[in-house]
Structure 1
Amino acid sequence: MPGKPRWRALAVAAATLTASLLAFGTPSRAEAAVPATIPLKITNNSGRSDPVYVYDLGTLLSTGQQGWADANGTFHAWPAGGNPPTPAPDASIAGPANGQSKTIRIPKFSGRLYFSYGQKLDFRLTTGGLVQPAVQNPSDPNRNILFNWSEYTLNDSGLWINSTQVDMFSAPYAVGVQAGDGSTRTTGHLKPGGYNGFFNALRAQSGGWAGLIQTRSDGTVLRALAPGHGIEAGALPATVMDDYINRVWQKYSSSTLTVTPFTDQPGTKYFGRVSGGVMNFTNGSGAVVTSFQKPDSDSVFGCYKRLDAPNDLVRGPISRTLCAGFNRSTLLANPNQPDTSSAGFYQDGVTNHYARAVHAQMADGKAYAFAFDDVGNHESLVHDGSPQQAYVTLDPFS
């Protein structure tokens, strides 16, 4: 039986990417129309001899159907699933061997590019659609497979493709895009030694953070779970952020937290104050616009539950800002949020040490280490309105 679908994680990731899409806007009339498919060049610099399997899974934007694309970019809808879940059709594409590259085509999707080493992934279908791997569940059939994924959207407005650690840190990779003018932008590369450096940082961090690391019976390090999944799996204490959360609630019982959620609207401000255990936000007229119960650690790491962020113009943007401030531990040091200067991030002893370690090992400092890591533009995302080619590079495990 596969693990339960991580609909919440998928929804957060989709919301994050959608927010990025909205931030970039639409292309100008001068930009060429985006074709039905574009090439994706996959380069294997992993140094591993295992065979690689690639999957392009997602929603076909022209119809809303869920399915997969083959190496030619042809879409195939998923058949009906079952309960219990039934095996999905084999959607794998043979990837390049170490030191080689392979080019496939990707269609106008909103979805994921999975890649696995040594073994094909086990995908199942329920009556509600595809069951994504959920390796925080020890019974998930993909638990002992080394794999990772990128998220992308290709539509009439261009390509957005990211590297993500929202759910886990695993097989290293980077993404890129060749723009309409021929230039290339990439993100997601680790520093030299960054892969081992990340895991060493978790092992050295007191408080249970080393429990996020998952290994195979042969000793192979497979991944580190993101802390929200670690709490779910019992691998990280559920109270790990409580001390910081309590200090924030205490501080803003006697002072005001000012949130300016839109960089292009500096006059739009909301003012947070804790009363009766609840943080109420008022607008410039003094009217309460939304309120937050004191979050728990899982709410902070997942940017959900008590820090839910609906796709609106008030609560969602405030919640995104709070979530970033909690994960980066900037809310006590700066009463004006968001704090966009990374120099002040992760400085408190109680912080998201997983996110701290991820960003510390990135060559450009950018990552999606939690759902709203794009607050302040610290996310590992590249975009172009007239993409000529996309790239995924499988990097060394060092």
Structure 2
Amino acid sequence: MHIRRMPVAALLAALLMTVGLTGLGTWSPRAEAAVPATIPLTFTNNSGRDEPVYLYDLGTELATGRQGWADASGTFHPWPAGGNPPTPAPDASIPGPANGRSVTIRLPKFSGRIYFSYGRKLDFRLTTGGLVQPAVQNPSDPNRDILFNWSEYTLGDSGLWINSTQVDMFSAPYAVGLKRADGSTTTTGHLVPGGWNGFFAALRGRTGGWANLVQTRSDGTVLRALSPGHGTETGALPRTVMDDYVNRVWQKYSTATLTVTPFGDRPGTKYYGRVSGGVMRFTDASGAVVTSFQKPDADSVFGCHKLLDAPNDRVRGPISRTLCAGFNRSTLLTNPAQPDTSAAGFYQDPVTNHYAREIHARMADGKAYAFAFDDVGNHESLVNDADPQQAYITLDPLG
């Protein structure tokens, strides 16, 4: 178990309000929209499974910065002090709906996660630094044999962002949605029929260690596939799995220029990358070096961190997230003008993020958060609105 990083939805909300990143357009909340203290979330169970479902709404209260949980009415409860070793957290579970049924809870102004589990309650702990959440790449994690998943969301004065995510793992499928003030609804995250089984069959059929990402219970029940970043971390996937592609990229741009246009609303802002002495240096229009990158390893690529760290600034972060998307989608060799936003060219190289490839191939709308910056070019499974009337999470069949 380990303390989790900032949720994708929360990070996205922060980025939207600061740097206007590529592909996210120029959406801005309507000034007159007044988001209430809570909004309803309807949770529907279409899983086809008979086990009980447990829900959790955990996160950070935006008004105070306190960490805690919300009950079904949206009332906030701060976490008590933790310990070292971690102590059990209070039972924050909310009874979920039976198969074919729905329940409605209230979401407060949070940046956090909505967890759901099948059959058993999740085991959360508290340290002196805050909440410890499931980390099933650790075989001793107490949640390792529980089928569960989570959605990430931020609800604040500027509106609602809610997404489905596969950044850490692909597990129990679900979709998210919302209702707008005009009564229209939008949704994302549904798998195509047979998408669950198809994904695991494809991953297991691929050589090179990708099949090792799949986790099962002792009885053979498929629980999830770890993300390739966790795969390289645990040794399930070779750390050299992306080396051939990265080497070819470094070779290409030792004699060619990689042009990065990181802001969708500022096409005149461009940076130019060339490799020299094993380092890719980016210059601006004046020729001044603005940032540089050492040759990344697979862990840096899959996690969009370490050698591809992306701070929330206006230069290195936007360039890095563009590189991260290009490496994961294997578009850097075929298109020297990045980001490449057309999905037709994604994942075509034999060396690519096959985990992300197989997830996107089985999404009904093609959208997913299969790696941290899958939002480059609007390929992420996210819905947002400045004046949300209702939120939705729907559990899909595991078939």
Q: Structure 1 length as normaliser, TM-score?
A: 0.97
Deviation at 1:97, TM superposition (A): 0.3
Whole-Å separation in 2 of the counterparts to 1:4 and 1:52: 24
Q: Structure 2 matches for 1:252-267, cutoff 5 A?
A: 252-267=253-268
1:111 equivalent in structure 2: 112
Structure 2 residue identity aligned to 1:252: Y
Q: Structure 2 matches for 1:311-330, cutoff 5 A?
A: 311-330=312-331
2:23 equivalent in structure 1: none
| Change in CA separation of 1:381 and 1:222 when aligned onto 2, cut-off 3 Å | same
Whole-Å separation in 1 of the counterparts to 2:11 and 2:251: 31
Match of 2:15 among 8, 13, 19: 19
- Report Cα offsets for 1:115-165 as digits up to 9, x if no partner: 000000000000000001100011111111100000000001111100000
Whole-Å separation in 1 of the counterparts to 2:246 and 2:220: 36
8 Å CA contact 2:302–2:371 kept in 1: the answer is yes
- Report Cα offsets for 1:269-296 as digits up to 9, x if no partner: 0000000000000000000000000000
- Report Cα offsets for 1:309-330 as digits up to 9, x if no partner: 0000000000000000000000
Instruction: Out of 361-370 and 202-211, give the one that drifted further.
Output: 202-211
Identity %: 79
Q: Structure 2 matches for 1:334-345, cutoff 5 A?
A: 334-345=335-346
> SS at the partner of 1:15?
helix
Whole-Å separation in 2 of the counterparts to 1:317 and 1:54: 35
- Any stretches of 5+ residues in structure 2 without a counterpart? 21-25
- Report Cα offsets for 1:301-346 as digits up to 9, x if no partner: 0000000000000000000000000000000000000000000000
8 Å CA contact 1:180–1:384 kept in 2: the answer is no
Whole-Å separation in 2 of the counterparts to 1:242 and 1:6: 28
Deviation at 1:227, TM superposition (A): 0.3
1:245 equivalent in structure 2: 246
Deviation at 1:5, TM superposition (A): 2.6
Deviation at 1:17, TM superposition (A): 4.6
8 Å CA contact 2:55–2:115 kept in 1: the answer is yes
1:205 equivalent in structure 2: 206
Structure 1 residue identity aligned to 2:232: I
Q: Structure 2 matches for 1:26-45, cutoff 5 A?
A: 26-31=28-33, 33-45=34-46
8 Å CA contact 2:7–2:153 kept in 1: the answer is no
8 Å CA contact 2:10–2:153 kept in 1: the answer is no
Residues 1:194 and 2:195 aligned together: yes
> SS at the partner of 1:135?
coil
Which of structure 1's runs of 4+ aligned residues deviate more than 6 A? none
Whole-Å separation in 2 of the counterparts to 1:204 and 1:322: 28
Whole-Å separation in 2 of the counterparts to 1:46 and 1:15: 29
2:153 equivalent in structure 1: 152
Deviation at 1:205, TM superposition (A): 1.1
8 Å CA contact 2:9–2:163 kept in 1: the answer is no
1:68 equivalent in structure 2: 69
Deviation at 1:182, TM superposition (A): 0.4
Q: Structure 2 matches for 1:370-389, cutoff 5 A?
A: 370-389=371-390
Structure 2 residue identity aligned to 1:166: V
Deviation at 1:4, TM superposition (A): 2.9
Deviation at 1:25, TM superposition (A): 4.8
Match of 1:5 among 3, 6, 22: 3
Whole-Å separation in 1 of the counterparts to 2:224 and 2:382: 21
Structure 2 residue identity aligned to 1:63: T
8 Å CA contact 1:16–1:371 kept in 2: the answer is no
8 Å CA contact 1:163–1:188 kept in 2: the answer is yes
8 Å CA contact 1:13–1:371 kept in 2: the answer is no
Whole-Å separation in 2 of the counterparts to 1:15 and 1:248: 28
| Change in CA separation of 1:348 and 1:213 when aligned onto 2, cut-off 3 Å | same
1:289 equivalent in structure 2: 290
Whole-Å separation in 2 of the counterparts to 1:251 and 1:310: 26
Deviation at 1:6, TM superposition (A): 3.9
Instruction: Out of 114-123 and 225-234, give the one that drifted further.
Output: 225-234
Whole-Å separation in 2 of the counterparts to 1:26 and 1:67: 29
Structure 1 residue identity aligned to 2:147: L
Whole-Å separation in 2 of the counterparts to 1:13 and 1:308: 18
| Change in CA separation of 1:330 and 1:174 when aligned onto 2, cut-off 3 Å | same
Whole-Å separation in 2 of the counterparts to 1:54 and 1:283: 48
Aligned length: 393
Whole-Å separation in 2 of the counterparts to 1:97 and 1:271: 55
Whole-Å separation in 1 of the counterparts to 2:345 and 2:64: 44
> SS at the partner of 1:300?
helix
> SS at the partner of 1:191?
coil
Whole-Å separation in 1 of the counterparts to 2:167 and 2:307: 18
> What is the Cα-based RMSD across aligned positions, in Å?
1.2
